[in-house]
Amino acid sequence: MANIKPFICVRPAEDKVDKIAALPYDVYNRAEAKAVVTANPQSFLAIDRAETQFGDEVDTYDERVYAKAHEMLSDWIDNGSFVRDTQNAYYIYELTMDGRVQTGIVACASIDDYANNIIKKHENTRADKEADRIHHVDTCSAQTGPIFLAYRYNKVIGDVVASVKQTPALYDFVADDGIRHRVFKIGDAAQIAAIENAFAGIDDIYIADGHHRAASAVKVGFKRREEHPDYDGTEEFNYFLSVLFPDEELMIMDYNRVVKDLNGMTGEQFLAKMNELFMVAQIGGTIGDALPENEVRPTKKGDFAMFIGDKWYRCSMKPSDIPNDPVEGLDVSVLQNLLLSPVLGIGDPKTDKRIDFVGGIRGLTELERRCHTDSVVAFAMYPTSIQELFAVADAKRLMPPKSTWFEPKLRSGLFIHEIEK
């Protein structure tokens, strides 16, 4: 039984929303964040990454940075950049990318559901990355970046969403990257009850993206419980800001690999080894008029493409080499265990500097570019499916590093959930 509740939302004024809405804090390094905020001072990144308000001599994690975030959030609420709704509500958040639509419910999820594994994880978190967001949420007494959750499609929720999407949107704008964002409010008491009851009948919710934000919000919630020993469970700090999407609308993109050397082998020796391990066929030269990208891109599980020596190859894993195991049977695991570790000597892809990972959003020509600059071989993977992700989480296992790339990214600053100090 998932406890997914409506909440009182702090959200941008309608005439400012397209300026405020920002990509997540962790997609930028410090210099990139500073450039975004300099170009658009109204970007929510100014609050999410408040070190942008200081010179480089001030450390990213300086106490003054978090105090500045709190100060700016209060100022933006006071000056009308943000409005605070007056009643508990759910919201619908629709994103359209390249004609593909995904629609989620904006709500608050329970920290107890997280602790009790009703909300399932597939990734470990790092204490250093958690510490920053813990400090940010704790100082601001607000959750500003929603956690990307997924659930198996539910008709009751789907019917309410379809109905509300027939009404006028609160927001409707296209961001600089071409992604359309629409937001609707679910304020009707009967519809709120229908959604809350439908989620109460769902046993499994999954973190798709945002494990560090989730862990940080939950830890602040438990810290607040210690500070308020008379809490009764209804306080806002018992919940964290989320957007929940049905599985059938989600798309995971490929997460590709580039390797800097062949571990002492010549190109011919490496290709010979590839032919021993996989079924390999040359496709052609570089991507262009004579070789469109869709002829290179893998089309099914167990297939991947390889670029080496200015040529693309289609590679297929042998069925006997794909274990019937939720983790070891993933394409990225098979590649790691059959090739990257034993042949190329990459034992731990999390720490080995000889491998790098390229999100599918950058396209296959980015893999060619990398092989012309700092790498010698690239592997274009078939994307992990959302059902594979669910299977790993259901088994209480962890996904291998860099297995999933979700697009489009949820914007920060569209929805803010305040918690008690």
Q: What is the mean pLDDT of residues 47-52?
A: 97
> Which whole number is the average pLDDT over 233-242?
97
Give how far Cα 372 sits from Cα of 168, 209, 375, Å: 50, 32, 7
Give the mean model confidence (pLDDT) for residues 76-92: 97
d(CA 105, CA 196): 11
Nearest to 221 by CA among 11, 5, 3, 421: 421
Q: What is the pLDDT of residue 298?
A: 97
pLDDT at 75: 98
Q: What is the pLDDT of residue 124?
A: 85
Q: Is the pLDDT of residue 119 over 90?
A: yes
CB-CB contact of 63 with 152 (8 Å):
no
Confidence band of 226 (pLDDT split at 50, 70, 90) = very high
Identify whether the C-beta of residue 355 lies closer than 8 Å to the C-beta of residue 258.
yes
As a whole number, mean pLDDT of residues 135-164 equals: 97
User: Does residue 127 surpass a pLDDT of 90?
Assistant: no
- Arithmetic mean of pLDDT, 151-172: 98
Residue 282 confidence (pLDDT): 96
Q: Assign 3-class secondary structure to the chain.
A: CCCEECECEEEECCCCHHHHCECCHHHCCHHHHHHHHHHCCCCCHHHHCHHHHCCCCCCCCCHHHHHHHHHHHHHHHHCCCEEECCCCEEEEEEEEECCEEEEEEEEEEEHHHHHCCCEECCCCCCHHHHHHHHHHHHHHCEECCCEEEEECCCHHHHHHHHHHCCCCCCEEEECCCCCEEEEEEECCHHHHHHHHHHHHCCCCEEEEECHHHHHHHHHHHHHHHHHCCCCCCCCHHHEEEEEEEEHHHCCEECEEEEECCCCCCCHHHHHHHHHHHCEEEEEECCCECCECHHHHCCCCCCEEEEEECCEEEEEECCHHHCCCCCCCCCHHHHHHHHHHCCCCCCCCCCCCCCEEEEEHHHCCHHHHHHHCCCCCEEEEECCCCHHHHHHHHHCCCCCCCCCCEECCCCCECCCEEECCC
CB-based contact 160:191 (threshold 8 Å):
yes
C-alpha triplet 116, 243, 250: angle, nearest 5°: 100
pLDDT at residue 263 above 90? yes
Residue 375 pLDDT > 90? yes
The mean per-residue pLDDT over the stretch 331-357 comes to 95
188-209, pLDDT tens digit by residue?
A: 999 999 999 999 999 999 999 9
Report d(CA 179, CA 347) in Å as an integer.
Answer: 38
pLDDT score at 44: 98
Q: What is the pLDDT of residue 261?
A: 98
Specify which of 125-139, 214-228, 282-296 reaches the highest per-range mean pLDDT. 214-228
Residue in 413, 5, 419 with CA at minimum distance from that of residue 183: 413
* Residue given tokens 């009948």 in the structure block: 201
Rounded to the nearest integer, the mean pLDDT of the chain is 96
Confidence grade of residue 129 (pLDDT, cut at 50, 70, 90): confident
As a whole-number percent, the residues of the chain with pLDDT over 90 amount to 94
pTM of this prediction? 0.93
pLDDT at site 157: 98
**Contact present, 171 and 17 (Cβ < 8 Å):** yes
Task: Reply yes or no on whether the pLDDT at 401 is more than 90.
Answer: no
CA distance 245 to 151: 6
| Token couple for 309 | 């020596």
Closest by CA to 367, choosing from 300, 301, 311, 418, is 311
Q: Which residues contact 220 (CB under 8 A, 6 or more apart)?
A: 134, 137, 138, 237, 419
- Position 169 scores a pLDDT of 98
- Does the pLDDT of residue 266 top 90, yes or no? yes
The answer on pLDDT for 312 being more than 90 is yes
Please state, for a pLDDT cut of 70, what percent of the chain lies above it: 100
320 phi and psi angles, rounded to 5 deg = -70, -15
Q: What is the pLDDT of residues 271-297, one digit of tens each?
A: 999 999 999 999 999 998 789 999 999
What mean pLDDT is predicted for residues 208-226?
A: 95
Helices 127-140 and 63-78 meet at what angle, rounded to 10?
40
How confident is the model at residue 290, as a pLDDT? 84
Query: Which class for 239: exposed (0-12), middle (13-18), buried (19 or more C-beta within 10 A)?
Result: buried
